Amino acid sequence: MRCVGVAVAVAFLGLAPSVAQAEIVITISKAQQRVAVAVDGAERFRWPVSTGRRGFDTPVGKFRPVRLEKNWYSRKYDWAPMPNSIFFYRGYAMHGTTEERNLGRRASHGCVRLSREHAATLFAMVRERGRANARIVVVNGPLPKQDYPAETPMAAVEQPADAAAALARATDDDVIQVTVTPDALPLAKPAVLTMAPPRDDAPAAMPLARPVARQARPARAEKFTSVGSEAAVLRGREAWLRSLDRKYGIVR
């Protein structure tokens, strides 16, 4: 019996490291709005998330999943859908979201939002391995630096330092945005106006209209000079007025 007990203890101790490595460790960085998923001691995924915005902070600490809900709706927030929910503390959960455009920044009511695809992947992993073998860690600081395999070329890891390096490494499948400054634009050639020759069936050109003659102003009447008696002056003035009426068609 003693030998059997010792053998069982040795077997348990020998299996202990493998059991510890089988854990799924989910580390959420509130500073970077990213989650890192490590399986069997090696990081497998790194995805953008949305944690709680101001006034709806996500709790910090180490947690275990308390329950899994494939289809869940928030009764507190207008029955908002929470697909593939992994609850880890009270009503806080990691779940998929329909507001994927906000991933990468704080936008939730305290839960940890993922894209629907990533939430489904994580949910399946935790359900397959068991809630007891999963751990959720929420930190304020950044995620640990990601380790790349030794055979990974540095060109695939590092970002180009300048635009010239980016253009040199770009392929035909890459989308390159080129900004053209006014100094780089060619000078435009002056436009040349050409007249087409007249066609035989074209209508004849209309003659230019004659300029309208300006109507001459009426000649200024000569100043009447009174000569002789007052009666003669009045008669002469009346005759002069009648001549003006006849000239200009004035009816008095």
Catalytic center residues: 95, 111
Question: How many Å is the Cα radius of gyration of the chain?
Answer: 48
- 68 and 127 Cβ atoms separated by less than 8 Å: yes
Q: Which of 16-39 are b and which e, b meaning 16 or more Cβ less than 10 Å from the residue's Cβ?
A: eeeeeeebbbbbbbbebbbbbbbb
CB-CB neighbours of 176 under 10 Å:
10
Strand runs labelled E in 123-170: 134-139
For 212, the 3-state DSSP assignment is coil
Planar angle of CA 15, 19, 24, nearest 5 degrees: 165
CA 140/CA 106 separation, integer angstroms: 12
Provide the β-strand partners of residue 85: 69
CA 148/CA 239 separation, integer angstroms: 122
